[in-house]
Amino acid sequence: MKRTFAIGIGGAAGQGVATPGDIFAKIFSRRGLNLNAYNAYQSIIRGGHTFLTIRTGPDKVTNMGDRIDLFIPLNQDSMDRHMKLLGPGAACLYNADTVQPGPTAEGVQLCALPVAELADITRNKVAQNTIAIGAGLHMMGIGFQSLEDVLQEQFKKKGEAVVAENVSVARAGYDYAAAHFTAFPNPLPKTENRYAILSGNIAMAMGGAAAGVKFYCAYPMSPSTGVLHWMAAHARKAGIMVRQVEDEIGVVNMAIGAAQAGVRSMCATSGGGFALMSEGLGMSAMMETPVVVINCQRAGPSTGVPTKTEQGDLWQMLGAAFGDYPRVIAAPLDIGDCFKLIPEIFNIADRFQCPGLVLCDLLLSEGRLSVHPRDLDFNPPIDRGELITGNNGTASSAPTNGSYKRYKFTESGVSPRAVPGVPGHVHTVATDEHMEDGVLISDEFTNPIKRREMMEKRMRKVAGIEASVPPPELWGPRDAEVTLIGWGSTKGVIEEACEILNEQGISANQLQIRWLVPLHGDAILELLKDSRHTIIVENNYSGQFARYLRSETSFVANGHIRKYDGEPFMPHHIVEAVKEQLAAQTKLSVPMHEIMV
Amino acid sequence: MATTARSGQLTLADLKGKVDPDWCPGCGDFGVLSAIQKALVELQIPNHNVVAISGIGCSSNLPGFINTYGMHTLHGRALAVATGLKLANHELTVLVTGGDGDGFGIGGNHFVHTMRRNVDVTYIVMDNQIYGLTTGQTSPTSRVGMKTKSMPFGNIEAPVNPISLALAAGATFVARGYSGDQKHLTELIKRGIEHKGFSFLDVFSPCVTYNHDNTYQWYRPRVKKLEDDARYDPSVWMAAMEKSLLWGEEIPIGRFFERTDVPSLHAAEPVLNDGPLLHRDPRVPPDVARGFIEELM
């Protein structure tokens, strides 16, 4: 079993769930610990209920895990909802003045904090939170100084008095715990590592900056808005033009306009906004103007559940825009990969002059993960492909005396792309079908032979795209009893499920798909040909990836584990489902989510 | 008129497109194309620094008929595309062309927002008050009572007033031209290109095939140049708004409004202080990148 420790903090939106979360995260990361945080929340600004899970440990923490070790309910509602999650060895810190504990499992330590005695609650509205942080820290075996440092930073803008007040309130909680509660048996360890803590949205935004994105635009839509926020806040330092646009149709068209001028251009949205962008993607494909579009999936259809996760947009991405055209679709595997993927997909989009689509989801977009700074490489390879800007020194801008053909037939299907402003390369690009020189063959000069040639030119790029993307790999023992197949954000939780299964004597391996288009179907079939029992794990109702894999390869898995309640998988969901499927009880498991938010 | 070739001089011949326009004989769009070409020659803007961007429709075929860089985009989206292109390389002269359906119908949202942003592009709408390429349906500027294939018993919807709409949306240059008056239209387009900010030109461009109401014969006696009225001051927004409401026996054409005190979008954005984005180093400087990561630690 992984050595991890998880804190659950529950409360109403606006009650200050985020602040203790941030404080714990900072303290953990400064101890050199990894962490993974997931906030289950609702689409409400004040009120409702949110439940934040922060899981930490010395090794990689890839998901929220199965167990809460320390539970901090900030109100009665939270206590009532989640107390049943606690098992032996866990503890619950609560404000004894306002919250009553309900039925409690054996071996759970109830830690009642007399908040009104410990702090002046008329002056400090979030005193209960600060006291709980102090108390919790003592129970985890962490010295008070680390909390004092973080509180200093947190409140220094509000002046010395506020800092002193918060430090003394936290100290009261810390000391009270020392006197009255039993500390956890294993103090949280310390390592020499230092991590950055970031969300997938921040990672994708920074990945864009690293890739050389110079134009970013968006319309706010959960759960993608974090990309816009990072871009807007860092635009001037990074030299990126960031615009908020009137709608997602405007977004994708504006992004393509900037791309046509020759800069790397990116935008992000969620499923609803992506639907509006669909026609624009066809334009990117037809004009052969590369653009990268991120879709942070949330639970659909329609407006769906804006604050909940799902992997339900795969077929929308596969079918986005009418007609056949080359496209690239990739799903980042974790938050670190959200960063790494962006420069990679830009290089492919640029080289093959086609849209690059990133299929992220709320779990990664809004989750938080510790990432080693070396994995945030701001100096990745940048390959702009055959681009003629007239200013980049490498590409020729010599006038061509009118012989330049924007859509010149080539073996690779890629035609050197001149951008406006370059002398001697004047041409018009169009959404209508066109000849090599850009002249339309849609209205007056329709021509089936040329239409066929141009379709084949564009589609020849598919072979090059395939060659530039590595096939997936099988992780774990080749002869495992069960092979779990997932895609994108489920990587971490499937990985841990495999570890647990292996510990329990069921050997398991994992095939995680990152590049959805191109899929490398033949390589996948080769990897799976010896698999003894295959199960596809995905966060949607209909098995969108299972259907896609079948359509591309005729491969049919032995079983499926699906979840479409808006919440991510926890490791035990997968472990238990695998066991019931190996026992031939079912071929389709739909685990029940136990945390009610 | 600089039509004769001199060394390095842009001539009308340089602006002739790869193919001839396929508009119906007599279409008003010929006159608009010609006026655009004349304006570019008179301003001597090298054709490789000009981008003509359009949407979809008869008039949106224009970028194919002029020898500048061009983008023939999606229906209604030309202004959004043009905004992105201009911001990525603000040294380019960007002309956006299209029709009334493209601009005021399907593209209405972008029309309003591009004006309030004061994006430095020149938007020329060939307004024929009908959908031509789809063979004659009612457009957002079709008058009440007009009979078309989609409203065979007469239009019962009020038309948009592009001039009033542009004024209300904050356009900093608002004009109306008439395809039948080349000299006047060429001057307006020149002024529009020279205007630093969004310039909007609604140009009457009769559809000789599908609009039998608003013909050259109908327009000729009605259009009255604002420039002929010495008392008219195009810097007064209220006066422009009042003039924009005139429609009937007298229809004003010319420069309704212009203000020069509002910076265009690219001029207002400090990110562009160091020159066009296109020519920037794609790399984030190492110390800046380090700062981005340290924020998260």
pLDDT-derived band at A121, boundaries 50, 70, 90 = confident
- In sequence order, the 6+-apart residues with CB closer than 8 A to the CB of A160 are none
B204 in any annotated domain:
yes
A383 and B CB contact within 8 Å: no
The count of C-alpha atoms lying within 13 angstroms of the C-alpha of A90, restricted to the half-sphere facing its C-beta, is 23
Q: How many CB atoms lie within 10 A of CB A156?
A: 11
| pLDDT tops 80 at residue A396 | no
| pLDDT for the residue A125 | 78
Contact A423 B288 (CB under 8 A): no
Distance (Å, whole) CA A125 – CA A233: 30
| pLDDT for the residue A46 | 87
E strands, B205-286, in order: 223-225, 251-258
Tokens for B39, please give them. Answer: 């304006």
CA distances (Å), origin A23, targets A19, A134, A155: 6, 11, 12
Query: Same CATH topology for A5-180 and A199-375?
Result: no
Across A160-172, average pLDDT: 95
Q: What percent of chain A has pLDDT over 90?
A: 92
In whole numbers, what is the pLDDT of chain A averaged over residues? 95
| pLDDT for the residue B247 | 96
Q: How many CB atoms lie within 10 A of CB B245?
A: 10
B272 in any annotated domain:
no
pLDDT digits (tens, 9 = 90+) for A540-574: 999 999 999 999 999 999 999 999 999 999 999 99
Which has the minimum average pLDDT: A44-53, A202-211, A476-485? A44-53
Across A368-375, average pLDDT: 97
| pLDDT tops 70 at residue A400 | no
What CATH number does the domain containing B132 carry? 3.40.50.970
DSSP reduced 3-state for A438: coil
| pLDDT for the residue B4 | 45
A–B: how many Cβ contacts below 8 A? Answer: 212
pLDDT-derived band at A47, boundaries 50, 70, 90 = confident
> In this structure, what are the phi and psi dihedrals at residue A566, rounded to the nearest 5 degrees?
95, -15
pLDDT-derived band at B2, boundaries 50, 70, 90 = very low
Per domain, the residue ranges of chain A are: 5-180, 199-375, 386-469, 474-589
Considering only CB atoms, A429 lies closest to which of B19, B56, B71, namely B71
Which chain B residue's Cα is nearest to A240? Answer: B271
| pLDDT tops 70 at residue A373 | yes
Q: Determine the residue among B74, B120, B287 to mutate to test chain A binding: the one whose Cβ has the most chain A Cβ atoms within 10 Å.
A: B74
Contact A265 B84 (CB under 8 A): yes
pLDDT digits (tens, 9 = 90+) for A211-234: 999 999 999 999 999 999 999 999
In whole numbers, what is the pLDDT of chain B averaged over residues? 96
| pLDDT for the residue B253 | 98
Whole-number CA gyration radius for chain B: 20
CA distances (Å), origin A276, targets A167, A353, B38, B78, B81: 50, 21, 38, 16, 15
| pLDDT tops 80 at residue B1 | no
Tokens for A77, please give them. Answer: 């509602």
**Which residues of B fall within a CB distance of 8 Å from A429?**
70-72
- Among A421, A551, A538, A450, which residue's Cα sits nearest to residue A488? A538
Portion 200-219 of A in contact with B at CB < 8 A: 202, 206, 209-212, 214-215, 217
Tokens for A543, please give them. Answer: 């098995």
| pLDDT for the residue B171 | 98
Which has the minimum average pLDDT: A119-133, A311-325, B12-26? A119-133
CATH fold label, A199-375: Rossmann fold (3.40.50)
- Among A187, A230, A225, A184, which residue's Cα sits nearest to residue A207? A230
**Which residues of B fall within a CB distance of 8 Å from A198?**
296
Distance (Å, whole) CA A414 – CA A412: 5
Portion 249-288 of B in contact with A at CB < 8 A: 269-272, 274, 277-280, 282-284, 286, 288
**Which residues of A fall within a CB distance of 8 Å from B54?**
none
| pLDDT tops 60 at residue A258 | yes
Across B248-276, average pLDDT: 97
Q: What percent of chain B has pLDDT over 70?
A: 98
pLDDT digits (tens, 9 = 90+) for B119-177: 999 999 999 999 999 999 999 999 999 999 999 999 999 999 999 999 999 999 999 99
Question: Which CATH architecture fits A5-180?
Answer: 3-Layer(aba) Sandwich (3.40)
What does the longest C-alpha to C-alpha distance in chain A come to?
Answer: 88
Which chain B residue's Cα is nearest to A281? Answer: B74
- From A258's Cα to the closest Cα of chain B, the distance in A is 4
CA distances (Å), origin A13, targets A48, A210, A595, B289: 6, 34, 17, 33
Tell me the β-bridge partners of A370. Answer: A197
| pLDDT for the residue A393 | 41
Distance (Å, whole) CA A546 – CA A551: 9
Q: Which residue has 């559940």 as its token pair? A: A305
> In this structure, what are the phi and psi dihedrals at residue A71, rounded to the nearest 5 degrees?
-115, 130
Contact A440 B73 (CB under 8 A): no
Is residue B204 within 8 A of residue B219, CB to CB? The reply is yes
| pLDDT for the residue A120 | 86
DSSP class of A491: H
| pLDDT for the residue A72 | 97
Is residue A241 within 8 A of residue B87, CB to CB? The reply is yes
Please provide the CATH number assigned to the domain covering A474-589. 3.40.50.920
Q: How many CB atoms lie within 10 A of CB A194?
A: 13
- From B135's Cα to the closest Cα of chain A, the distance in A is 14
Distance (Å, whole) CA A309 – CA B267: 40
**β-pair type (A47-57, A5-13):** antiparallel
- What is the strand order of the sheet A34-40 is part of? A109-113, A91-95, A70-73, A5-13, A47-57, A34-40, A368-371, A196-199
Across B199-217, average pLDDT: 97
Is residue A316 within 8 A of residue A380, CB to CB? The reply is no
pLDDT digits (tens, 9 = 90+) for A278-294: 999 999 999 999 999 99
| pLDDT tops 60 at residue B49 | yes
Contact B288 A238 (CB under 8 A): yes
In terms of residue numbers, what domain contains B118? 12-266
Tokens for A252, please give them. Answer: 């994708």
Contact B48 A239 (CB under 8 A): no
Q: Which residue has 């989609």 as its token pair? A: B150
| pLDDT tops 90 at residue A394 | no
Contact A249 B77 (CB under 8 A): yes
Q: How many CB atoms lie within 10 A of CB A35?
A: 24
How many domains does chain B fold into?
A: 1
- Among A223, A220, A197, which residue's Cα sits nearest to residue A370? A197
| pLDDT tops 90 at residue A443 | no
| pLDDT for the residue A124 | 80
Q: A355-374 b/e with 16+ CB inside 10 Å = b?
A: bbbbbbbbbbbbbbbbbeee
> In this structure, what are the phi and psi dihedrals at residue A478, rounded to the nearest 5 degrees?
-60, -35
**β-pair type (B199-204, B130-131):** unpaired
Is residue A147 within 8 A of residue A27, CB to CB? The reply is yes
| pLDDT tops 80 at residue A391 | no
Distance (Å, whole) CA A31 – CA A8: 19
